[in-house]
Amino acid sequence: MKVVDLRSDTITKPTPEMRRAMADAEVGDDVFGEDPTVNRLEDMAADLLGKEAALFVSSGTMGNLVSLLTQCGRGDEVILGDQSHIFFYEQGGLSALGGIHPRTVRNQSDGTMHPDEIESAIRSDNIHFPRTRLIALENTHNRCNGNPLSSSYLQNIKDLAQQHRLKIHIDGARIFHAAAALDKPVKELVSMADSVTFCLSKGLCAPVGSVVCGSKDFIAKARRTRKVLGGGMRQAGVLAAAGIVAVQRMINRLSEDHLNARKLAEGLASFEDLAVDLEHVRTNIVFFQIARNDLTPAELAEKLKMEGVLLLPTGPRQLRAVTHYYTGKGDIDYTLEAFGKVLA
């Protein structure tokens, strides 16, 4: 039976070109800085994002944690969204491992935090308070409909951060999706960030890894942080080789995933039993709600699974679908036909 897996873009597998690159990769000891393939990926990533240096890490969660631990000390405070991946899905690592205090601000439906609310959360210089050090943003914003944050909004936050002498970290797991959706150079979307991460293993199809980018001084410190977290890899070039192919081949095709997500969203919106906010479908993530009371997300997901379509329940009435390299137009048609069957 045909299977269309829309649970996440994390399910993507390396392309044949990536597998060949991995097999042929020149390697060395990356902890000694001697893996030429890792060094090449890091140089490419830094140049791509307009930063001085970069660091290859095993995952987006590690990249965010390395960044926060490098930017903040124990007892410091980071301002971040109440729906952010760092706050919601990373097991409280900033507190558990770094002693960093999270100060949450409400995420709006488009993924932004209102600048006035961010400013209200910044601590004054008072012996009773932790010191605010960092503002963490997410672009695109996973739990907020996969929305991209605009360069004008990001610049507003940069102005606010500079006024209060704060640093900015961007969780850019899907930053290239944001650039494609906004038709902006990715450098423009991260120019205000003191640190930024992006994932190779989601829409870019590499099997493992993320990259942290920032200044040379920041990356030198981040490399020490990565080591203490157990992230010092040895002959990691076999992984970095796939990442090189990812940034060379996959970035320019992401708009195809956005078109497929829009097609899926419009198709889902045609079912009276489903509700989709089409205004917020701007990248490769589609959230939708069940508009009837006799069917739960888990039940709908199970019925669709029997038809060969995999989706992720994400709330009491909500499910999520994510398009990626391995979902074409025909797969969207197949998915909508499956919905027609199970909702009949």
Give dist(CA 281, CA 322) in Å, integer.
11
What is the percent of the chain where pLDDT is above 90?
Answer: 99
- Measured between alpha carbons, how far is residue 224 from residues 29, 45, 69, 157, 159 in Å? 16, 19, 10, 29, 30
Give dist(CA 146, CA 317) in Å, integer.
18
Q: What is the mean pLDDT of the chain?
A: 97
Closest Cα to residue 146, out of 186, 109, 113?
Answer: 109
Q: Is 212 helix (H, G, I), strand (E, B) or coil?
A: strand
Stretch 288-306: mean pLDDT: 96
Q: Do residues 198 and 173 make contact, with C-beta atoms less than 8 angstroms apart?
A: yes
What is the percent of the chain where pLDDT is above 70?
Answer: 100
Q: Tens digits of per-residue pLDDT, 208-247?
A: 999 999 999 999 999 999 999 999 999 999 999 999 999 9
Which residue ranges form the domains of the chain, and what is each CATH number?
4-10+253-343 (3.90.1150.10), 13-251 (3.40.640.10)
CA 36 from centroid of its chain's CA atoms = 27
Other CB atoms within a 10 A radius of the CB of residue 201 amount to 23
- Report the DSSP pairing between strands 132-138 and 167-171: parallel
Closest Cα to residue 60, out of 169, 144, 148, 155?
Answer: 169
Q: Tens digits of per-residue pLDDT, 174-206?
A: 999 999 999 999 999 999 999 999 999 999 999
Counting runs of H as helices and runs of E as strands, what totals does the chain give?
14, 13
Q: Which pLDDT score is estimated for 1?
A: 81
Kindly provide the residue ranges of all beta strands, DSSP E only, lying in 95-164, ordered along the sequence: 101-105, 132-138
Q: Which pLDDT score is estimated for 100?
A: 98
Predicted confidence (pLDDT) at residue 151 exceeds the cutoff of 90? yes
Stretch 112-117: mean pLDDT: 98
Closest Cα to residue 244, out of 56, 53, 11?
Answer: 56
Stretch 309-336: mean pLDDT: 97
Token digits for 54?
């970069």
Give dist(CA 115, CA 105) in Å, integer.
10
Give the dihedral of Cα atoms 67, 70, 74, 80; nearest 10 deg. -30
Q: What is the pTM of this model?
A: 0.96
> pLDDT tier at 337 (50, 70, 90 boundaries)?
very high
- Report the DSSP pairing between strands 210-214 and 195-199: antiparallel
